[in-house]
């Protein structure tokens, strides 16, 4: 049967499959080369195979949703529990956890996260990301800042499983079969890793700032709504918050006096003996002028009470 193609006012192309108009990729999409060359009429005999295939993904999606919930809980625990330090000593750290229910809960979350980190060649993320996750799982033995970074990465790893399910649905609805879907997804995952490729050489978790979502990559946007962040991305934005190039949180700035949160955070370092600007004795600026005079690389307590390291302005 002939393939009828229509282009909407926003440039989105659709094709008539004999029963309905379905979206097809944009011609300029980066991932177009990894999709079928033409839209095939859906084969109704494929539906049963697809439904079975979709059911097989249910367990992975459920595990991913649990992982997102665990990340929120772990994040909450990190606001009350310091990690790293003495907890990185295997015997001592394990003994201390026996008497602290929150530390035991952190251990349980770490164990679940480790099981989710797949063997390369399987799952919804690239082999590169899998290797990074296997080497870097959050837990009480890691420094708190490392744990926070790993939580954000783990969120995106869980989100990838959920997004792969959505991609598979789109693929079947568009092409009428599931042949080539896994290969197309893994090419997307390779081209858009969760971790910055520099993470490996740096030995610390860094997110890939240039990562595209799958709809952008395959040109499958149906409208403005497809550009909305996923739940995992919203959680990351909420946790990290926007930062200026120098690392400071906008738009609050400094008001010339200590905020209540700064004062409470600074009280933790009242008896510090380390040099000013170290992580164990951070600066507490109250004006923009004070902040500007602080050398890059120094640790400070921001207006919201968070501890972070000042970056050089770009």
What's the pLDDT tens digit per position in 170-187? 998 888 888 889 999 999
- H or E element, residue 22: strand 21-24
Question: How many CB atoms sit inside 10 A of residue 150's CB?
Answer: 23
Using only C-alpha atoms, the chain has a radius of gyration, in whole angstroms, of: 24
pLDDT band per the 50, 70, 90 thresholds, residue 86:
very low
Sign of CA dihedral 133, 134, 140, 146: negative
Residue-level pLDDT at 266: 84
CB atoms within 10 A of CB 282: 25
Which range has highest mean pLDDT (83-87, 106-110, 114-118, 278-282)?
Answer: 278-282
Cα angle 58-64-65, degrees, rounded to a multiple of 5: 90
Q: Where are the domains of the chain?
A: 52-240, 243-314
Stated as kind and residue range, the H or E segment containing 16 is strand 13-16
Cis amide prior to 251 (ω within 30 degrees): yes
Specify which of 26-35, 233-242, 263-272 reaches the highest per-range mean pLDDT: 26-35
* Residue that has been written with the tokens 């708190």 in this structure: 144
DSSP three-state, residue 301 = strand
Residue 88 has pLDDT above 70, yes or no: no
Question: How far apart are the C-alpha atoms of 70 and 47, rounded to whole Å?
Answer: 34
Does the pLDDT value for residue 118 go beyond 70? no
Q: What is the pLDDT of residue 251?
A: 46
Tell me the pLDDT band of 96, cut-offs 50, 70 and 90. very low
Give the number of other Cβ atoms within 10 Å of residue 240's Cβ. Answer: 13
Mean pLDDT across the stretch 51-71? 82
What pLDDT is attached to residue 26? 81
Higher pLDDT, 259 or 204: 259
pLDDT of residue 314: 44
CB 113 within 8 A of CB 140: no
- pLDDT, residue 192, reads 94
Cα 228 to Cα 256: distance, rounded to the nearest angstrom? 37
Top-confidence residue, 121 or 48: 48
Asked if residue 25 lies in contact with residue 35, where contact means CB atoms within 8 angstroms, the answer is yes
- Least confident range from 54-63, 141-150, 155-164, 215-224: namely 141-150
Distance between CA atoms of 278 and 135, rounded to whole angstroms? 28
d(CA 11, CA 223): 10
Q: Which of 28-32, 45-49, 86-90, 173-177 has the lowest mean pLDDT?
A: 86-90
Mean residue pLDDT across the chain: 75
Rounded to two decimals, the pTM is: 0.64
Select the highest-mean-pLDDT range: 63-77, 79-93, 141-155, 175-189.
Answer: 175-189
* Tokens (6 digits) for 264: 């409470």
CA distances (Å), origin 63, targets 2, 51, 60, 161, 222: 43, 19, 5, 9, 28
> What percent of the chain shows pLDDT beyond 70?
68
**282 neighbors 270 (Cβ within 8 angstroms):** no
Half-sphere exposure for 284 (CA within 13 Å, toward CB) = 18
Q: Residue 31's pLDDT band (boundaries 50, 70, 90)? A: very high
- Containing 133, the helix (H) or strand (E) segment is helix 127-135
Q: Cα torsion for 111, 115, 120, 122, to the nearest 10°?
A: -160
């Amino acid at each position: 049967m002939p393939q009828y193609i229509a282009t909407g006012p926003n440039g989105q192309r659709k094709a008539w499959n004999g029963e309905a108009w379905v979206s097809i990729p944009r011609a300029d999409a980066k991932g177009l080369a990894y999709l079928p060359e033409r839209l095939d009429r859906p084969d109704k005999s494929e539906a049963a195979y697809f439904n079975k295939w979709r059911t097989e993904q249910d367990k992975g999606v459920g595990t991913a949703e649990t992982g997102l919930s665990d990340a929120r809980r772990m994040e909450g625990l990190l606001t009350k529990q310091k990690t790293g330090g003495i907890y990185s000593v295997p015997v001592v750290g394990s003994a201390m956890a026996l008497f602290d229910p929150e530390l035991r809960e952190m251990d349980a979350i770490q164990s679940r996260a480790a099981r989710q980190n797949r063997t390369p060649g399987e799952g919804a993320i690239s082999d590169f990301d899998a290797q990074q996750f296997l080497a870097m799982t959050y837990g009480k033995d890691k420094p708190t800042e490392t744990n926070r970074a790993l939580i954000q990465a783990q969120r995106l790893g869980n989100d990838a499983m959920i997004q792969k399910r959505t991609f598979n649905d789109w693929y079947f609805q568009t092409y009428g079969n599931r042949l080539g879907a896994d290969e197309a997804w893994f090419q997307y995952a390779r081209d858009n890793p969760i971790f910055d490729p520099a993470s490996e050489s740096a030995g610390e978790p860094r997110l890939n700032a240039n990562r595209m979502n799958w709809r952008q990559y395959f040109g499958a946007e149906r409208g403005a709504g497809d550009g909305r962040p996923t739940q995992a991305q919203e959680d990351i934005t909420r946790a990290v918050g926007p930062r200026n190039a120098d690392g400071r949180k906008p738009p609050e700035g400094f008001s010339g006096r200590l905020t209540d949160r700064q004062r409470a955070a600074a009280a933790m370092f009242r008896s510090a003996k380390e040099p000013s600007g170290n992580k164990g004795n951070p600066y507490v600026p109250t004006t923009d002028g004070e902040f500007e005079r602080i050398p890059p690389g120094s640790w400070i307590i921001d207006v919201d009470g968070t501890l972070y390291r000042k970056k050089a302005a770009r």
